[in-house]
Structure 1
Amino acid sequence: MLNIAVIGTGAIAPAHINGYLNFPERCNIVALCDTFPEKAQKLKEQFQLSADVVDTHKALLEREDIDLVSVCTPPYTHAEIAIDFLEAGKHVLVEKPMASSLEECDAMNQAAYKNQRILSIVAQNRFTTPMMKLKKVLDTKLMGPIVHTQVDSYWWRGHSYYDLWWRGTWEKEGGGCTLNHAVHHIDLFQWMNGMPAEITAITSNTSHDNAEVEDLSIAIGKYENGSLAQITSSVVHHGEEQQLIFQGKNARVSAPWKLKASSSKENGFPENDKSLETEIQKIYEQLPTLKYERHAGQIDDVLTAIEENKGVLIDGEQGRKTLELITAIYQSASLGKTVTLPLEEDSPFYTREGILKNATYFYEKTASIENFASNEITTGGNYE
């Protein structure tokens, strides 16, 4: 039986708690921590947990009965909390984004390696049946070389969304929709298609004049083989239709699932390649449905890794790649230049201080409230 502590009891914490509660024979939540302990107490009562409530994570570092920690706090605190627990010999699951800078990511990964503990970064959309099936279909290479990828990370958030005390600032949130919303799709993109060689991007704030950060960004990634990727990150799209489309030389596949294959007529115009479509569709349909999805799926993966002393699907190196791609988008948009990957320590955006100095500030944050009355959120990702 593994004992769990949840650090931060805001909007995303219930997803973690529900995830752990799927495995009552394997784990038990023994502690909840929040700087507003009344929030933690409310969650304790809501989920009927027999957990201790504390107001600082440092109160839990010396507890020998804690094996795994979920970090659900604002992004700027992730590195300190994760490193503290890794140094204390605990395994750590950190909410997205991994940290506020690549420098912090590297420090977290070094702590995990030094202490031989698991560091996993939340990317719950990998643990959905449509995405797992799409990944396996892409791995067959039946589509041929991918020539164009379209990533539409469309969300909608009202003006008041950025009134919460830590949102809408580079210092506390670390960025806008590119970092905190499109992180899901950017993670899926780099997992399925690998990292591009360069990024050219532009950001804007069209609808939230109470935030320093962007609410819309468009980036173009270019691969060494000439393939292009188009990544749109947004919190201004009504309907929140989200999709990933991979155009190969032989066929197109996507989430939500859509398949089209073409072959060439004598004059170069297309005709349906029914044979290839049938082959790909058969593979897709034969792939199994996941037993556990989203946070529960990732928690199952982490618990299994601890129990069986094996690796996780999404470790700190994977988490760093996703943040590296996002950082390249911010660097390109802020400095007005194409950015070559990988980003090294000489990048002006490698450190948190560099980001705060060089990032584009759109507006001044004009409101700061401690909590919203409702903790209800939407997490997107309907890929059926």
Structure 2
Amino acid sequence: MIRVAIIGTGNISAAHINAYLAFPERCKIVALVDIYPEKAQAKKEQFGLDADVYDSHKLLLGSEDIDLVSICTPPFSHAEIAVDFLNDSRHVIVEKPMAASLEECDRMNAAAAKRGTVFSVIAQNRFLNPIMNLKHVLDSGKIGRVLHAQVDSFWWRGHCYYDLWWRGLWSKEGGGCTLNHAVHHIDMLGWMMGLPNKVSALLSNAAHDNAEIEDISIAALQYEKGAVAQVTSSVIHHGEEQQLIFQGENARISAPWKVHASTSLENGFPKKNEELEQELNDLYSTLPQLTHQAHEGQIENVLTAIETGGAPFITGESGRMTIELITAIYKAGFQQKTVELPITKSDPYYTVQGIMENAPHFYEKTNSVINLGSSQEITLGGSYSSK
């Protein structure tokens, strides 16, 4: 039985709690931690957990009663908490974003490697059937080399969203929608295409004058052999319509699933390639379905890694790759010029301090509250199912 501690009991912790409760024969939540212990107590009562409540994660260090820790705290604290538990030889799952800087990512990964523990960064959208199957179709090579990718990470958040005490601040959130919302889609793009060679970006705050950070960014990415991608990160888009589109040499595929394929007429204009479209649709429809999806799927994968001594599907190195691309977008947007990857250790943007020294303050935070009303409803991204 794997004994679990949840660190941070805000809204996202419910996704972790529900996922662990789906495997009662394999794990048990034994501890809840929050700097506001009344919030942890409320979660304990809400889910009927037989768990102890603490107001500091440090109270669990050295305990032999914890095997696995889920870190669900604000981004600025991820690295400290993760390194503490990894150095304590505990397995760790950390919510997205992995950290606010590459330096923090490297410290976390070094601690995991030193102790040989399982370390995974939440990227639950990879554990959705439409996303997993899109990856399989890409890997089949049937659409040819990817020439262009379009990533629409469209979210909507009201003005009061940034009144929460840790949101809207570079020093606490580590960034705006690019780091904290589009991280899902940037992770999926990196998984499917790898890192680009060059990045250009535009950042803005169009609708939230109570936040220092951006509420929209548009990035242009350049890959080898001329392939390009565009990534729009936003919390100002009504409807929260999210999609990933890949234009290959032979066909276009996407999540939500849609296929178009063309061949060339003698004059260069397109002719529908019905045979390839049917082949791609047949391949997609016959791919296996995941037994567990989203947070439940990723946590089941981590439990399996712990039980078998294997590696999780999404590792700390994978989480670092996502942060490197986001860091490049910020660097390009802050400097208003094209930047090259990789981001080296000598780069000012490698550290939190360097990012803070260069980050623009679009506005200053004007309000700070401990909790945002009574509603616990949050959105975790699109289902990517075809309408």
What is the alpha-carbon distance in structure 2 between the residues aligned to residue 81 and residue 156 of structure 1?
A: 30
TM-score (norm 1): 0.99
Matched length: 384
What is the alpha-carbon distance in structure 2 between the residues aligned to residue 136 and residue 360 of structure 1?
A: 40
What is the alpha-carbon distance in structure 2 between the residues aligned to residue 263 and residue 254 of structure 1?
A: 19
What is the alpha-carbon distance in structure 1 between the residues aligned to residue 255 and residue 100 of structure 2?
A: 29
Equivalence map 1:41-120=2 (5 Å): 41-120=41-120
Matched, 1:376 2:374: no
Structure 2 SS opposite 1:166? coil
**Which residue number in structure 2 is paired with residue 320 of structure 1?**
320
5+ residue gaps, structure 1, are: none
Give the fraction of aligned pairs with identical amino acids, expressed as a percent. Answer: 62
**Which residue number in structure 1 is paired with residue 238 of structure 2?**
238
What is the alpha-carbon distance in structure 2 between the residues aligned to residue 302 and residue 382 of structure 1?
A: 22
CA contact (8 A) 1:261 1:274 kept: yes
Deviations 1:288-316 (A, max 9, x none): 11111000000000000000111111100
**Which residue number in structure 1 is paired with residue 336 of structure 2?**
336
What is the alpha-carbon distance in structure 2 between the residues aligned to residue 152 and residue 285 of structure 1?
A: 24
What is the alpha-carbon distance in structure 1 between the residues aligned to residue 187 and residue 347 of structure 2?
A: 21
Per the TM alignment, residue 346 of structure 1 is displaced from its structure 2 partner at its CA by 1.7
What is the alpha-carbon distance in structure 2 between the residues aligned to residue 63 and residue 137 of structure 1?
A: 45
5+ residue gaps, structure 2, are: none
What is the alpha-carbon distance in structure 2 between the residues aligned to residue 44 and residue 359 of structure 1?
A: 39
What is the alpha-carbon distance in structure 1 between the residues aligned to residue 56 and residue 214 of structure 2?
A: 31
CA contact (8 A) 1:181 1:233 kept: yes
Matched, 1:4 2:15: no
What is the alpha-carbon distance in structure 2 between the residues aligned to residue 32 and residue 334 of structure 1?
A: 38
What is the alpha-carbon distance in structure 2 between the residues aligned to residue 210 and residue 257 of structure 1?
A: 37
Question: For residue 73 of structure 2, what is the amino acid of its counterpart?
Answer: T
Deviations 1:22-66 (A, max 9, x none): 100000000000000000000000100000000000001111011
Question: For residue 263 of structure 2, what is the amino acid of its counterpart?
Answer: S
Equivalence map 1:283-302=2 (5 Å): 283-302=283-302
Structure 2 SS opposite 1:329? helix
What is the alpha-carbon distance in structure 2 between the residues aligned to residue 262 and residue 83 of structure 1?
A: 51
**Which residue number in structure 2 is paired with residue 179 of structure 1?**
179
Per the TM alignment, residue 321 of structure 1 is displaced from its structure 2 partner at its CA by 0.3
What is the alpha-carbon distance in structure 1 between the residues aligned to residue 253 and residue 147 of structure 2?
A: 12
Per the TM alignment, residue 374 of structure 1 is displaced from its structure 2 partner at its CA by 2.2
**Which residue number in structure 2 is paired with residue 359 of structure 1?**
359
CA contact (8 A) 1:10 1:375 kept: no
Deviations 1:156-175 (A, max 9, x none): 00100000000000000000
Structure 1 SS opposite 2:230? strand
TM-score (norm 2): 0.98
Deviating above 3 A after TM superposition, structure 1's stretches of 4 or more consecutive aligned residues are: none
**Which residue number in structure 1 is paired with residue 270 of structure 2?**
270
What is the alpha-carbon distance in structure 2 between the residues aligned to residue 360 and residue 280 of structure 1?
A: 45
What is the alpha-carbon distance in structure 1 between the residues aligned to residue 182 and residue 347 of structure 2?
A: 22
Per the TM alignment, residue 382 of structure 1 is displaced from its structure 2 partner at its CA by 2.1
What is the alpha-carbon distance in structure 1 between the residues aligned to residue 347 and residue 154 of structure 2?
A: 29
* Cα root mean square deviation, aligned: 0.6
What is the alpha-carbon distance in structure 2 between the residues aligned to residue 344 and residue 33 of structure 1?
A: 35
